[in-house]
Amino acid sequence: MGNEWSPQSWKSKLLAQRIVYPDVEALQGVLATLGKFPPLVTSWEVERLKSAIAAAGRDERFLLQGGDCSERFEDCDPSFITNKLKILLKMGLVLAHGCRKSVIHMGRIAGQYAKPRSAETETRNGLTLPSYRGPLVNRPGFSRAERIPNPAFLLDGYQRAAMTLNFVRGLVDGGFADLHHPEFWNIDFVDRAAASAQYHQIVDSMSDAIHFMETVAVRPLDELTRIDFYTSHEGLHLDYEQSQTRQVPRRPGKWYNLSTHFPWIGDRTRSLDGAHVEYFRGIANPIGLKVGPSMTADELLALTDLLNPENEPGRLTLIHRFGLKHIASCLPPLVTAIMHSGKCVTWCCDPMHGNTVLTHNGIKTRSFDDILGELQQALDIHDELRSILGGVHIELSGEDVTECIGGAGALTEEDLGRAYLSDVDPRLNHEQALELAFIVAHRMSKAHRLRH
């Protein structure tokens, strides 16, 4: 790979998931414009997140990463953004109560606009067009005009990411995440009785604890009035990522991707000698690496050497996504190899991507039971190997969507058409996501009691 790196050195490597723009001159003009825009995040936020992820790797904190499979530009809307933040705050409260650790709140938000696809083209009724790759690239409608990659959408993506992040920061800094007022996080549509009752029991318990602590301290606990909220997205579109890659004052020699706090490499773009690994090895952000069933122990060790050569805590998060059928055979050899090598990583479980299936009508869905089953097996395997599962990575919506079957609402295939809004992959709805958080929190609470 060599030691020479620059923000554009990836261009000398083989680029997976290549996007072909008919008008290259227009693309270069857009990228030049993006390169002059202000960064969306700051280097000190990035470094603070890296320290928090390092703590999760030591079992001192827990990472909750959640949000859309692929954000839609039309969802840059106050109600959609607020509901997404609400479900992450509610899940974080439940997980913090169960695992007795501070939760890192990270959204797949403000930039999750590009998606990898298994095929470059799609054919319907004899017409073959480029696959839909997310709103950063093209449009989901099936016409030639909608599917041709348009560089102007890169500007639209930056602008919507900026507006989304600005609104989230305003909410968080304005007290929306204040633990004294969890009633701010209620969502308009009705919760199922069981989940609602459990959640309000936890809220009452934590409210009592906060009141007691403030009584003893004889002052308000100001640190409970806000949280640090971080953004993440798959760093798929390397031209876009490069345009926001900057050096900053007082951090000589470091390059940061300032389009997001936490970019990750997908399972389809993790080739050792590929363009994505080349780009990611040079940025100073904490980064994620998706780990799928085809990953071997030797390949994983080589990737960790390339992506974290200084063995820096918090730098590299391994996000495993095997599917319920494969996790028992795939995960243990990789965890064992990392432990024996002494490499410093934070493990995170993505129980969504390996469990996607098609219904008899050809609709993508996921079973809540399969998602839960993979997550429970992940916890079991890490416990048995004396490893640490430092977080979860969930595709979810704050809306009352019907995209995944099962859960407390007992959604079936027949329910999918009622509110299936995703353009790409199915997400857990608010109720299913909160139910998952309760089950994981209960499991982690039990483990905490056994250890202490």
pLDDT at position 111 is 97
CA distance 164 to 113: 13
Burial readout 379-413 (b: 16 or more C-beta within 10 A, e: otherwise): bebbeeeebbbbbbbbbbbbbbbbbbbbbbbebee
pLDDT the model gives residue 179: 61
Compute the average pLDDT of residues 7-14. Answer: 97
Q: What are phi and psi of 23, to 5 degrees?
A: -110, 90
41 secondary structure, DSSP code:
S
pLDDT of residue 221: 47
pLDDT exceeds 80 at position 35 = yes
Of 7-11, 172-176, 341-345, the range with the lowest mean pLDDT is 172-176
**Rounded Cα distance, 48 and 42, in Å:** 10
- Bridge partners (DSSP) of residue 406 are 411
Q: Report the alpha-carbon distance of residue 134 to residue 244 in Å, rounded.
A: 19
pLDDT digits (tens, 9 = 90+) for 273-314: 999 999 999 999 999 999 999 999 999 999 999 999 999 999
163's CB contacts (< 8 A; 6+ apart) are: 76
Q: Give every CB contact of residue 28 below 8 A, 6+ residues apart in sequence.
A: none
Query: SS3 for 123?
Result: strand
CB 59 within 8 A of CB 168: no
Compute the distance between CA of residue 258 and CA of residue 241 in angstroms, rounded to an integer.
8
What pLDDT digit, counting tens, does each position of 135-171 carry?
999 999 999 999 999 999 999 999 999 999 999 999 8
Query: What amino acid occupies position 290?
Result: K
What three-state secondary structure class fits 88? helix
Domain ranges of the chain: 9-451
Rg (CA), the chain: 21
Q: What mean pLDDT, rounded, does the chain reach?
A: 90
Q: Around Cβ 114, how many Cβ atoms within 10 Å? A: 24
Tell me: pLDDT of 202 over 80.
Answer: no
Sequential DSSP letters for 306-371: HH-TT--TTSEEEEE---TTTHHHHHHHHHHHHHHHT---EEEE--SGGGEEE-TTS-EEEBHHHH
Nearest to 319 by CA among 298, 340, 303: 303
- If one compares 137 and 408, the residue with the highest pLDDT of the two is 137
| Per-residue pLDDT band at 409 (split at 50, 70, 90) | confident
pLDDT in tens, 321-369: 999 999 999 999 999 999 999 999 999 999 999 999 999 989 999 999 9
Number of H helices, E strands in the chain: 12, 14
Element containing residue 278 per DSSP (H, E): helix 275-282
Whether 3 contacts 262, CB under 8 Å: no
226 pLDDT band (50/70/90 cuts)?
low
Q: Quote helix, strand, coil % in the chain, to nearest 5.
A: 45, 15, 40
* Alpha helices (runs of H) in 364-429, residue ranges in sequence order: 368-384
For domain 9-451, the CATH superfamily is Aldolase class I (3.20.20.70)
